[in-house]
Amino acid sequence: MRQVARSVRARSAFAAMGAVAIALVVASLGLLVVLHRSLEAHEAAVPIASDAVQDAAQAMLVGVPLLVLVVGAITYLLTGRALRPVEEMRARTAQIGAADLSTRVDVPTTADEIARLAVTLNGMLDRLHDAHQAQVRFVADASHELRSPLAAARAELDVAARDPAHADWVATTSVLRASNERMQRLVDDLLVLTRTEEHAPGRDRDVDLDEVVERIGFGLRPRRGVVVDVVTEPVRVPGDPEELSRVVQNLADNAVRHAQRRVRLTVTADPGTPGAGTQGAHAPCARIEVADDGSGIAVTDRDLVFDRFVRLDEGRARSAGGSGLGLAIVRGIVGSHGGSVRVGESDLGGASFVVRLPQASSSTAR
């Protein structure tokens, strides 16, 4: 956009130069008029030369206005022609509405700043279209998720209303409470997910990440037969302690849900690898790993699991207790803290979720 602005300013400067040229011509015209009057005063002294100069002055009095008109017309046409593609793009963009973001502006073949502006506009429209489609899918998925507990609650009430005197109100209350809790969890997850996309304050406090992992790891209550190991070393990161606790909690709950016998939570200070900017290299950071010995996640699904409302198999169904937003929240919170999250295969045989977060300047201090 700055290049286009410079181009338009250059063309405007060209038009201004034309206007200056016209002004100079007009000034010259005024000078010629003055000269003409001065020569008339000296006609008696130099009659022959005066006639010749008078003829030349009269010719210029006729030619200069024509020259001014020609220069003005040329300047107007050139400026209008230069800005015509911009006007066409403006008109085309004005026709694009929220109902149809698939329209694109035509890219000129001139390969100049105007063409680059058209490419930039089309790229922006592509991003807006993708964001709009994601929002539509998100609203549809959220509506679908809320419909199930609402339908269950309504069906239970309808059954009880047919014969209130003999209805099992204890069972009805239990169903309603479960549906309400499920909707509450979903709404809470949606609110958390929305906050991760905002630049919320309070993400610059030093957080003892090892204490967060220990508190959540030792507080887990896995089903019988599943053992949780917690391995930590002192490390601090800047961030929001509640949000970072949510990251560890979601990953730990996910691991416990799919583990067969073992879950391991680890937090270490990663010294980083040399070669910044190269593939696989990273700066010094805090590293959290949550691993399990479950069935793991297929390579083709490892990016998909971080999308909203994604359940890959029957083990991730609604009956397992998940809303389909846990890992999306993890990615959102980690991204808002300047970190990254990846999923791979653990040495336990199942999935391994690795979170990397920038260390605090006082990471080793206590």
211 Cβ neighbours under 8 A, 6+ residues apart: none
Which CATH number does the domain housing residue 162 bear? 1.10.287.130
- Is the same domain home to 247 and 186? no
What is the side-by-side strand order in the sheet with 262-270? 227-232, 262-270, 285-292, 351-358, 340-345
Q: What is the pLDDT of residue 247?
A: 93
Q: What is the pLDDT of residue 81?
A: 72
Domain range for 305 = 205-358
| CB-CB contact of 358 with 207 (8 Å) | no
- Is the same domain home to 192 and 209? no
- Is the same domain home to 21 and 141? no
In a domain, 363, yes or no: no
In a domain, 252, yes or no: yes
Q: How far apart are CA 161 and CA 122, in angstroms?
A: 57
- Is the same domain home to 288 and 311? yes
- Is the same domain home to 187 and 219? no
Q: What is the pLDDT of residue 8?
A: 47
Q: How far apart are CA 320 and CA 312, in angstroms?
A: 12
What does R_g of the chain's alpha carbons equal in angstroms?
A: 37
- Is the same domain home to 27 and 81? yes
Region for 310 from its dihedrals, namely left if φ exceeds 0, alpha if ψ lies in -120 to 50, beta otherwise: beta
Q: E-assigned strands of 236-328? A: 236-239, 262-270, 285-292
In a domain, 118, yes or no: no
Write out the H or E segment, with its range, that includes residue 353: strand 351-358
Write out the H or E segment, with its range, that includes residue 43: none
Last residue within a domain, chosen from 95, 127, 152: 95
Question: ∠299-332-270 over CA atoms, to 5°?
Answer: 70
Q: How far apart are CA 1 and CA 137, in angstroms?
A: 32
- Is the same domain home to 247 and 350? yes
In a domain, 55, yes or no: yes
Question: ∠357-359-363 over CA atoms, to 5°?
Answer: 140
Which CATH number does the domain housing residue 333 bear? 3.30.565.10
Q: What is the pLDDT of residue 317?
A: 46
Inter-axis angle of helices 2-41 and 47-94, nearest 10: 160
In a domain, 296, yes or no: yes
DSSP 3-state of 216: helix
Question: ∠306-322-144 over CA atoms, to 5°?
Answer: 85
Last residue within a domain, chosen from 95, 115, 147: 95
For the purposes of burial, counting CB atoms within 10 Å of the CB of 198, is it exposed (0-12), middle (13-18) or buried (19 or more)?
exposed
20-to-16, 135, 190, 288 alpha-carbon distances in Å: 6, 53, 62, 68
Total domain count for the chain?
Answer: 3
Q: What is the pLDDT of residue 5?
A: 45
**83-96: burial string, b at 16+ Cβ within 10 Å, e else:** bebbeebeeeeeeb
Q: What is the pLDDT along the chain (366 residues), one digit of tens a residue?
A: 444 444 444 445 445 555 545 555 554 555 444 445 554 555 544 555 566 667 666 767 777 777 778 777 788 777 767 677 778 888 888 888 777 777 888 888 877 888 888 888 889 888 888 888 877 877 887 787 788 888 888 888 888 888 888 888 888 888 889 888 888 888 888 888 777 766 666 677 889 999 999 999 999 988 888 999 999 999 999 988 999 999 999 999 999 998 999 999 999 998 876 655 555 556 788 999 999 999 889 888 888 888 877 766 544 444 455 567 888 889 999 998 999 999 999 999 999 999 999 987 755 444
